Amino acid sequence: MERIFSVPLKGGTVTDVYMLDTMGELADVLSEQGSSILISDENASRLLPSIPGGAVIIPPGEKEKSWESVEKMLEGAASLSLARDSVFVGFGGGVVLDLAAFASSVYMRGARLVLVPTTLLSMVDATLGGKTGFDYLGIKNLVGTFYPAESVLIVPETLRTLPDSEFRSGLGEVVKHALLSEDARLWEFLESSHDLIIARDRDALSEMIRLSLEVKIWYITRDPEEKKGIRSALNLGHTFGHALESMNGFSISHGEGVAWGMHKALAAGLALGLTPDDFAARALSLLRLYGFNGDHMIPDGRFPAFMKAIRSDKKKSGGSVKFVLMEGQGKPVLTALDDNAVKAAVKGFN
């Protein structure tokens, strides 16, 4: 078990990120925890050699991201007589981790939290920075807290059995990190190691995850509570992408939505003269290399519904929705767009 990052967060807390070689090593680490509860879903829990008594295993899927699931976890913890110094271990993808983290954050006003992401998306996106939550009244993550895990344990081996669509979803976020990074290492690695990554070579995945996390950490440590606008850069592709996801009843994956949203953000930036041509061309080329082509044009008749979805995005503040556009690699900028600019971006460019 190698500690690859120690991330300083709000209030002096720290999240340590570890890379583990095998599931056996993970089992050893988890068994050394004291009093704890394991939280997983029916898919992810199959990766575990055994499931301890008192574990809470929920069905898979975004629709489980509800108060009812949180209740199961709180009841599980109470039935094990867990105290505040007990550990909630979340094992799975983003839904499980967000729920386990939320439950941990409110159990006795905050128990200990260890997260074990088992999808590429959750390894590079969901586990750092402390965002927890569940969907409520039909709004994604309407209820949540900021509650960083004390440690995140990454076992790239778990990615070998991940369905292709979920693997691609994670790659969308990795490409986003490449665009947002001030240095060229992740971008160049994605170009030079494409075949190894797609073949899910363990060493290549391990390196890609490290480089991707480094970018996320750069942003969140400068704005741990998302109050300064810096961390908002991580929403690149998300405002466009979330709206598309919600219009499609969340039938396309998060990473696909984000990749589509990056296309649209590049289009909007080009139209405003804000995004340089050569940067946009390189970014589009990287997106295409990983199979993200920016399809799903929004026809005129659906545009009002699309704008409604855009406006309901929870990242609005004081009534105006800000989009992350790019002035170049590692140079995000928050910009309001009028409806015509949005329309041009989502119609005319793919």
Binding interface with its own copies (CB under 8 A):
10-12, 67, 71, 74-75, 78, 83-85, 105-110, 131-133, 136-137, 139, 141-146, 225-226, 314, 316-319
Which residue's CB is nearer to its own copies, number 83 or number 184?
Answer: 83
Q: Count of alpha carbons within 13 Å of 129, Cβ hemisphere only? A: 26
What distance in Å separates the CA atoms of residue 151 and residue 173, rounded to the nearest whole number? 21
Least separation in angstroms between CB 62 and its own copies: 18
DSSP 18-71: EE-S-HHHHHHHHHTSSSEEEEEETTGGGGSS---TT-EEEPSSGGG-SHHHHH
Which residue's CB is nearer to its own copies, number 113 or number 162?
Answer: 113
Three-state DSSP at 7 gives: strand
Q: Which residues 6+ apart lie within 8 Å of 209 measured at CB? A: 19, 120, 123, 124, 154, 156
| Residue 325, beta-bridge partner list | 333
Which residue's CB is nearer to its own copies, number 203 or number 225?
Answer: 225
Using the CB atoms, write b or e for 291-306: b if 16+ within 10 Å. Answer: ebebebebeeeeeeeb
**Ramachandran region of residue 109, left (φ > 0), alpha (ψ -120 to 50) or beta?**
left
| Rg (alpha carbons) of the chain, rounded to whole number | 20
Residue 168 is inside which H or E element, if any? helix 164-180
Which residue's CB is nearer to its own copies, number 285 or number 317?
Answer: 317
Least separation in angstroms between CB 82 and its own copies: 11
Which residue's CB is nearer to its own copies, number 74 or number 283?
Answer: 74
Which residue's CB is nearer to its own copies, number 179 or number 309?
Answer: 309
Least separation in angstroms between CB 326 and its own copies: 25
Amino acid at 265: A
Q: How far apart are the first and last CA of the chain?
A: 43
Residue whose tokens read 């068994």: 31
Which residue's CB is nearer to its own copies, number 82 or number 155?
Answer: 82
Least separation in angstroms between CB 27 and its own copies: 24
Of the candidates 277, 260, 268, the residue with the CA atom closest to the CA atom of residue 340: 268
Least separation in angstroms between CB 29 and its own copies: 21
Least separation in angstroms between CB 14 and its own copies: 13
Least separation in angstroms between CB 78 and its own copies: 5
Which residue's CB is nearer to its own copies, number 301 or number 318?
Answer: 318
Of the candidates 71, 255, 99, the residue with the CA atom closest to the CA atom of residue 170: 255
Which residue's CB is nearer to its own copies, number 220 or number 286?
Answer: 220
Least separation in angstroms between CB 58 and its own copies: 18
What distance in Å separates the CA atoms of residue 267 and residue 255, rounded to the nearest whole number? 18
Three-state DSSP at 313 gives: coil
Q: Count of alpha carbons within 13 Å of 38, Cβ hemisphere only? A: 21
Least separation in angstroms between CB 142 and its own copies: 7
